[in-house]
Amino acid sequence: MDHTLAKKFKFTSLLSFAIPNVIMMISLSMYIIIDGMFISRLLGTTALSSANMVYPAISLEMAIAIMIATGGSAIVARKLGEGKEKEAQNDMSFLIVTELLMGVTAAVAGILFIDDIISFLGASRIQFPLCAKYARILFMFAPAFFLQTAFQTFLVTAGKPALGLIVTLMAGAVNMVLDYIFMAVFHMGIEGAALATGLGYCVPAAAGLVYFFTDKENPLHFIWPKADWKTLFLSCFNGSSEMVTNLANAATTFLFNYTFLNYYGEDGVASITIILYFQYIFTALYFGYSNGIAPIISFKYGKGDKEQLREIFRNSMLFLVGSSILSNILIHLTIAKSLTVFTPAGSPVYDITLRGFSMYSLAFVIMGFGIFASALFTAFSDGKTSAAISFSRTFLFIVGAILVLPNLLGETGVWIAVPAAELLGLSVAVFFLIKKKEYGYA
């Protein structure tokens, strides 16, 4: 049986393959944003800032889950391209079991040490009880969260991106409906928001289990796995760039929360939370595309099809330039109105956010190129290069900029830290893209 990834991809077919993953990633971001909208409107901006104080802990879970999933996906797709279907099936099955065990571990550790975690994250006296209620419930659903992350990646590798999209949309619908029911109808407060999110995780987790257990016609399905520690190590190493990205999100969110709390109080944390929501959309667009086509790149690399690799690379550059220009024009035309979804026009949070957005949003223009370059080398199973790009772009430069620029430029330094870091990260990505042409993409 020919695998879906074996066909020849041109620009339109490449986009059609990636679009379900793009929509899926944007949908996931929208669920976070809608959660924030409900929390902000029904519970207030202090509750919104409290939810964001917990985000670094969730990013740590995401870092581990996506490291295994994306790194393992590249290995599995490459083996499918090499015709090693049994090895690919065993690798995926073993990695899914690993994800489940990691989720259980995260749940137990999170619940046992909840107060210590919230204290470490720097919650204020007002935020602390809200943070604890929100985090405790999310930790309970950690196993489902890990499985959701894994299946969203492996469904693309199995050639079923549309199915991944469908279950993600279903999860989002569950999340949004329950947000309203739990918070607006039953008045469960921030615990209702967390419960709605957790139950949303369960939809892709359950759907993935059912699909991979039942569809034996697909070359990629569950078998009783043998432990393969080498594959696990290589998956973690290869997916380390994606792990670094999410660890960087945790670190930068922590630093932003601390910095904005010092500059503006709880209103400042609510403000950066809203801006980060917009960043999630752009990140989802570029991650969705890059991870959506990564299995194609891995497959073609395994087949030695350099002609297709060159065509995919050229078309990807075209997509990144076009989407960057169009999406940035759209966001600047709608930002003033969009902010009122979270907070009334003229409120302190609204004014802080609108004032800083014009500076911060410069990062959105260039961030896609670094994201794509990192995902490209992950697809080649070159975890070292991928991690170097990701680490420099999302951790080294951003953390450095947040620590240094506010001291030099004051409030302006806070807002331009991310654009400055993205520009430096772009230079690193370009360096490796020029240096590593032996992979055959140029």
Nearest Cα to 402, choosing from 210, 220, 222, 263? 263
The total of other beta-carbon atoms located within 10 Å of residue 384's CB is: 12
Give alpha helix (H) positions in 215-361: 229-238, 240-264, 266-303, 306-339, 348-360
Our CA angle for 406, 408, 413, nearest 5°, is 35
At residue 165, does pLDDT exceed 90? no
Q: Is the dihedral of CA 227, 201, 242, 298 positive or negative?
A: positive
Q: Is residue 4 part of a domain?
A: no
Percent of the chain with pLDDT over 90: 52
Rounded Cα distance between 139 and 108, Å, is: 8
Mean pLDDT comparison of 48-52, 78-82, 222-226, highest-scoring range = 222-226
Q: Is residue 3 part of a domain?
A: no
Q: Please say whether the beta carbons of 406 and 435 come within 8 A.
A: no
Read off the pLDDT of each residue in 310-317 and give the average, rounded to a whole number.
Answer: 94
Identify the pLDDT of residue 3: 61
Q: Is residue 336 part of a domain?
A: yes
pLDDT digits (tens, 9 = 90+) for 338-383: 999 888 899 999 999 999 998 999 999 999 999 999 999 988 888 8
Q: Is residue 241 part of a domain?
A: yes
Record the tokens describing residue 23, joined without a space.
Answer: 């929509």
Q: Is residue 58 part of a domain?
A: yes
Lowest-pLDDT range of 127-131, 149-153, 162-166, 373-377: 162-166
Read off the pLDDT of each residue in 16-24 and give the average, rounded to a whole number.
Answer: 86
Record the tokens describing residue 11, joined without a space.
Answer: 């620009």
Rg of the chain in Å (alpha carbons) = 21
All residues at 6 or more sequence positions from 289 whose CB lies less than 8 Å from its CB, including other chains: 18, 21, 22, 316, 319, 320, 323, 372
At residue 131, does pLDDT exceed 50? yes
At residue 239, does pLDDT exceed 90? no
Give alpha helix (H) positions in 44-84: 45-81
At residue 88, does pLDDT exceed 60? yes
Name the residue range of residue 34's domain.
Answer: 9-439
The single-letter DSSP state of residue 185 is I
Read off the pLDDT of each residue in 40-53 and give the average, rounded to a whole number.
Answer: 88
Instruction: Give phi and psi for 73, each to the nearest 5.
Output: -60, -40
Q: Is residue 178 part of a domain?
A: yes
Lowest-pLDDT range of 97-101, 170-174, 237-241: 237-241
Identify the pLDDT of residue 424: 95
Q: Is residue 203 part of a domain?
A: yes
Rounded Cα distance between 10 and 183, Å, is: 46
What mean pLDDT is reported for the chain?
Answer: 90
Identify the pLDDT of residue 226: 93
N- to C-terminal Cα separation, the chain: 30
pTM value is 0.75
Total number of domains in the chain: 1
At residue 67, does pLDDT exceed 70? yes
At residue 437, does pLDDT exceed 90? no
- Quote helix, strand, coil % in the chain, to nearest 5: 85, 0, 15
Nearest Cα to 69, choosing from 139, 2, 164, 166? 164
Read off the pLDDT of each residue in 120-148 and give the average, rounded to a whole number.
Answer: 94
All residues at 6 or more sequence positions from 228 whose CB lies less than 8 Å from its CB, including other chains: 90, 91, 94
At residue 1, does pLDDT exceed 70? no
Read off the pLDDT of each residue in 384-413 and give the average, rounded to a whole number.
Answer: 88
Lowest-pLDDT range of 53-67, 93-107, 138-152: 53-67
Q: Is residue 1 part of a domain?
A: no
